[in-house]
Amino acid sequence: SPNEGETIVRDHVMGEVRFPNEQLDDLIILRSDGTPTYNLSVVVDDHDMGITHIVRGDDHLTNAGRQSQIYAALGWNIPEFAHVPLIHGPDGAKLSKRHGALGAEAYRDMGYLPEAMRNYLVRLGWSHGDDEIFSTDQAIEWFNLESIGRSPARFDFAKLESLNGHYIREANDERLADETIALMTRLDGWQADDVFRSKLIALMPGLKARAKTLVELGRGATFLLARRPLACDEKASQLLNEESRALLSRLVLRLEARNDWEIAEIEATIRAFAEEENLKLGKVAQPLRAAVTGSTVSPPIFDVLATLGRDEAIGRIKDQAA
């Protein structure tokens, strides 16, 4: 390394970076056994591979100065450099395993859609005006190195979940059903057949309206696979008190009297029952939801009853009725 002057790296992200040569030590390029060290190896390899642009983390910025000197000493053209700031965790520290998942497979198993991950990652530290949501094709068209910020970006799981929820709501119901079944089979051992898939697709509009990940979506649909009698969660159990069970026992008589089992007829029957009981619809729907799903959260209750089918729905209500 020269003892005087400067080595200048013209970086697409960091701008013009000047290294005083006196601060760049004479690095070792060959070990005692004759094998080359990193900085020599990467220069020779990139040159032989015809590499024109080097895009990497800014923790390698100092190496760019050393490698530029090696390129110059060998008489080779220096590639274009772009040193990208590292991603930090929510606490401002360099992203690491202690912040959670790092590999693509881990985010897949957390229920994030590929297009949501691509959108979020390309937006992390890069911008295109005020655009937050854009397709992969748009990202390819718009992306440039010069719009990458110089400051480290923070990985925000809340923003990722919000963005993923958007893509879930926009996704095709059949595709969501297939991806959810594949994921939940892997995570929870689901045993889903074509009948279950059809039911899942039927309820998908209601399920995906509130889900932020495929895991949430799958857990919200687990009641479809549940065997009678259902095990209710804590909140659902609290709803199913003596008064609610007596109410369900009267309601189930009305539902049993119906031979047709379409959403409109189910809704009309339950609304009429609520009026006769001088109750708001929610006072009937809440214990009814708890009885047929084991939870206080589900897709619209009339959709749930229709999808479960007459016999299964009535059977679940009777299990919880007084």
pLDDT tens digit sequence for 207-258: 999 999 999 999 999 999 999 999 999 999 999 999 999 999 999 999 999 8
Nearest to 288, CA basis, from 233, 239, 253, 228: 239
What would the mean pLDDT of 175-202 be, rounded to a whole number? 97
Together in a domain, 183 and 253: no
162 with 178, same domain: the answer is no
Contacts 24+ apart (CB under 8 A), 65-70: 65/7, 65/9, 65/17, 65/19, 65/24, 66/1, 66/24, 66/27, 66/39, 67/39, 67/42, 67/43, 68/7, 68/9, 69/1, 69/2, 69/7, 69/24, 70/29, 70/39, 70/40, 70/43
Question: Does residue 75 share a domain with residue 10?
Answer: yes
Across residues 305-316, what is the average pLDDT?
97
pTM, 2 dp = 0.86
Has residue 68 been placed in a domain? yes
- Please indicate whether residue 126 or residue 93 has the higher confidence score (pLDDT): 126
| Total domain count, the chain | 4
Of 6-15, 68-77, 83-92, 172-181, which gets the smallest average pLDDT?
83-92
Its domain, for residue 19, covers 6-84
Q: Show which residues are catalytic.
A: 97
For residue 1, tell me if it sits in a domain: no
- Asked if the model's pLDDT at residue 52 lies above 90, the reply is yes
Q: Is residue 229 part of a domain?
A: no
78, 132: one domain? no
Q: What mean pLDDT is predicted for residues 34-61?
A: 96
Q: What pLDDT sits at residue 36?
A: 95
* Residues 118 and 161 both lie in one domain: yes
Q: Is residue 91 part of a domain?
A: no
Please check the confidence at residue 101 and state whether its pLDDT lies above 70: no
